[in-house]
Amino acid sequence: MSVFFTHWLTQNLLVLAGFALLAWTLWSVSHHERWRRAWLRFRADRTGLVALVVVCLYLLLGALEVVRLPAGKGGPQSVLDLFLSGITTEKTYSAPLATTLLSSAQPEPLKGRHLLGTDALGKDVLRETLKACKTALILGGLTAAIYIPLGTLFGILAGYFRRRVDDAIQYFYTTLASIPEILLLIAIIFVLGQSLTSMCIALGVTGWVGLCRLIRGETLRQTERPYVAAARSLGQSHWNIISRHLLPNVMHLVVINFVLGFSGIVLTEAVLSYLGVGTPVGTASWGNMIDGARSELSRDPLVWWNLVSAATALFGLVLALNLLGDALRRAFDPKQG
Amino acid sequence: MFNYVIRRLLYSVPILLGVIALTFLLFNVLQTPEAAAAMAIGSKAPQQAREAWIKSRGLDRPKTEQFVKHVKNLATFQFGTSWKTGRELNEVFRQGAGPSLLITLPGFLAGLLGGVGLALYQVYVRKSLLDRSITLFAVALMSVPTVVYIFFLQAVGALMLNYFPASGFDWRGWETAKFVALPIIVMAIVNLGSDVRLYRTIFMEEINQDYVRTALAKGLSSGVVLGKHVLKNGLIALITLTVATLPRLIMGSLLIENFFGIPGLGNLLVMAIGTSDQPVVLACTYLGSLLYIGGLILTDVCYALADPRIRLS
């Protein structure tokens, strides 16, 4: 089973399936009046467009690192590796664009130039920073695959059926939300063991509550509308009303919530990695690179390039996601903007 | 009012039970006794030692029996002893609470004051370029990871200016202030971005109310209306929303305490994660939830005091 999931071909297919799902969702909602109008408003929003382009660039980089080809020397190689194959690996730290290693008494010449220097293991920092997009993409994608179906389904069920169903779902998420998020994350990863998968599960379990609340509220409002009453009086089944009428009308909230939630996930990864329950050591991630700076900042001479490039890359993605989320919110709900 | 408080307290009992059940599910069901033993005395310990350990903790008993014990322990605050240091946890928590509060409370208040001030100013210059710039600045503040704030302030305040100690803590009367100054500043800044945006939304909603128009029509200056009327009315909504953000306070203080070497609860938890000290993680999770639920009750009571209509529903 685990061989199946770690095989490079399966992973390629999973990534493709994820992007296909995203494209299909966008395609199927694009006929909707609300989405068309939102797109017209979004098109005129310059900040939002720039943010969208930046986010897409990050996603593309991440996808290039996840998708692997069989043509490598030591096993399958990622597409990004092919582009960056000319980059050499040194023995240890070297400053940006330096010609010698950092900390040796006798200047030891480097094999190549490194725009952002090299880290403790001599790996090129720029390459590691780009590779870390993959971790962010996997975290965001897998977490979304867990929490979006959960949150949307429970939210709609609670808002549509009300009474007992609503009480039960509300009780469940109120209880879950009573444990401060970071403590629940730590406890779950602590029990499941440190890995990317358990981080996604933990983030998924804590993340659906906010979405569920949002969807529940909106569904409560939507079910008061005449179109739901009309669908009911025409004898439509519960399933039809939920999937054909309610779901498309709350979908924009899911998208906005996911974009803003993604930025939270990336920031949380940095916190968890600092606490020692984040991305396992050896996997390129911005959190791990920033965490490594704890010892690097007290070195002499100071090693700052690792921290700066990881923090900048992370900041860029989170800022773009935040701005994109705001722009989407303005586009869907112009009164609030 | 008394009835309301009682009702509110009773309402939180099932939630508390739910939290206890969740922690049981995590630490006693999802985690096998073997895994717990390996964590406690090391996976290289001999098989017999691990089995003896499981027996001594009662982890081989039926789950129902374990659950009853779990509920009893948590409900009476019997957290037992640490796996790694062997110290009584209640004692450890009592010692850690002081330093923790010394950081979180002033930091939270400073952040609140700064956030409210900035948001009020934004409303004062609303819909101008300055307003939009502050919003953009707030989004940028939100996008910086906490660790980077800590690194930066430590580098500037302690290493460059050499005014504050880089880390450490000691009870020394007024001298203590020097140890906690940097952590408090970080604490205040970490959530400033999201807070300013939240407060601005609240105050912008108030500014469209009729009473604001009346006050302005009476000839009161815009500053007085904002500082007195809008602030007072906005505070009700603000109280509810700030308590909802209190859990984030714990998140910030985890990193801050650990990095600046403050011997508080957050630091305790970080150390426990590093050494796989499960009783501490469990107790922190439970206490954190308890504090949060207590905070929510307090908010509702404050809310009811401020707005009598709430009590009826």
Q: Mean of the pLDDT values across residues B177-189?
A: 84
Judged by CB atoms closer than 8 Å, whether chains meet at A178 and B278 is answered as: no
The verdict on B10 touching A (C-beta cutoff 8 Å) is no
pLDDT for A72: 57
Q: What is the pLDDT of residue A319?
A: 93
Of B140, B273, B288, the CB nearest to A179: B288
Asked if B224 has any chain A CB less than 8 Å from its own CB, the reply is no
Q: What is the pLDDT of residue A76?
A: 64
Cα nearest neighbour of A184 on chain B: B285
Separation between Cα atoms, residue A45 and residue A114, nearest integer Å: 38
Render A93-120 in DSSP notation, one character per residue: -B-TT-SB-SS-SS--B-SS--TT-B-T
Distance, CA of A39 to CA of A53 (rounded, Å): 15
The reply to whether residue B285 touches residue A174, judged by beta carbons under 8 angstroms, is no
Q: What one-character-per-residue DSSP string does A162-205 give?
A: -HHHHHHHHHHHHHHHHS-HHHHHHHHHHHH-SSHHHHHHHHHH
* pTM, 2 dp: 0.86
Residues 6 or more apart whose Cβ sits within 8 Å of residue B68 = none
For the ranges A7-11, A199-203, B95-99, B161-165, the maximum mean pLDDT occurs at A199-203
Burial A267-298 (b: 16+ CB within 10 A, else e): bbbbbbbbbbbbbeeebbbbbbbbbbbeebbe
CA distance B284 to chain A (A): 8
Q: Where are the domains of chain B?
A: 2-75, 90-306
Min Cα–Cα distance to chain B from A82, Å: 31
The pLDDT value given to residue A54 = 93
**To probe the interface with A, which of B260, B268, B273, B277 has the most A CB atoms within 10 Å?**
B273
Predicted confidence (pLDDT) at residue B250 exceeds the cutoff of 80? no
- DSSP string across A264-326: HHHHHHHHHHHHTSSSPTTS--HHHHHHHHHHHTTSSS---HHHHHHHHHHHHHHHHHHHHHH
Residues in chain A closer than 8 A to B282 (CB atoms):
187
User: Tens digit of pLDDT for each residue in B15-25?
Assistant: 888 888 888 88
B15, B145, B146 ranked by CB distance to A174: nearest: B15
Q: How far apart are CA A228 and CA A249, in angstroms?
A: 11
User: Does residue B219 surpass a pLDDT of 80?
Assistant: yes
Torsion angle of the four alpha carbons A31, A36, A38, A39, in this order, in degrees rounded to the nearest 10:
110
Taking the C-alpha atoms of residue B166 and residue B159, their distance in angstroms, rounded to an integer, is 7
Cα-based distances in Å from A137 to A116, A238, A261: 23, 35, 13
pLDDT score, position A318: 93
**Integer CA distances (angstroms), B40 to A84, A275, A283, B54, B279, in order:** 44, 19, 27, 10, 10
- B148 contact residues in A (CB cutoff 8 A): 290, 307, 311
Low-confidence residues in chain A, pLDDT < 70? 1-6, 71-76, 103-106, 336-337
Q: How many CB atoms lie within 10 A of CB A332?
A: 19
Query: Under CATH, to which class is B90-306 assigned?
Result: mainly alpha
Query: A336 or B253: whose pLDDT is higher?
Result: B253
Distance (Å, whole) CA A205 – CA A92: 39
DSSP B175: G
Q: Are B111 and B191 in contact (CB under 8 A)?
A: yes
ipTM summary value: 0.82
Res. B127 pLDDT band, cuts 50 70 90: confident
- Chain centroid offset of residue A270 CA: 13
pLDDT at residue B187 is higher than 80? yes
Arithmetic mean of pLDDT, B108-122: 90
CB distance B144–A275 less than 8 Å?
Answer: no
Q: Which residue has better confidence, B301 or A205?
A: A205
Q: How far is B231 from chain A (nearest CA, A)?
A: 21
- Indicate whether B294 pLDDT > 70: yes
Contacts of B22 in chain A (CB under 8 A): 175-176, 179
Domains and CATH numbers, chain A: 2-87+124-336 (1.10.3720.10)
User: Is the CB of A181 inside 8 Å of chain B's CB atoms?
Assistant: yes
- B145 vs A174, A270, A326: nearest CB: A270
Residues sharing a CB contact under 8 Å with residue B19, sequence separation 6 or more, in sequence order: A175, A178, A179, B286, B289, B293
Rounded CA separation B227/B121 (Å)? 10
Question: Over 80: is that where the pLDDT of B58 sits?
Answer: no
Are residues B220 and B168 in contact, defined by beta-carbon separation less than 8 angstroms? no
Is pLDDT above 60 for B251? Answer: no
Mean local confidence (pLDDT), B134-155: 88
- Pick the residue of A186, A266, A289, A336 with the most B CBs within 10 A to test the interface with B by mutation: A186
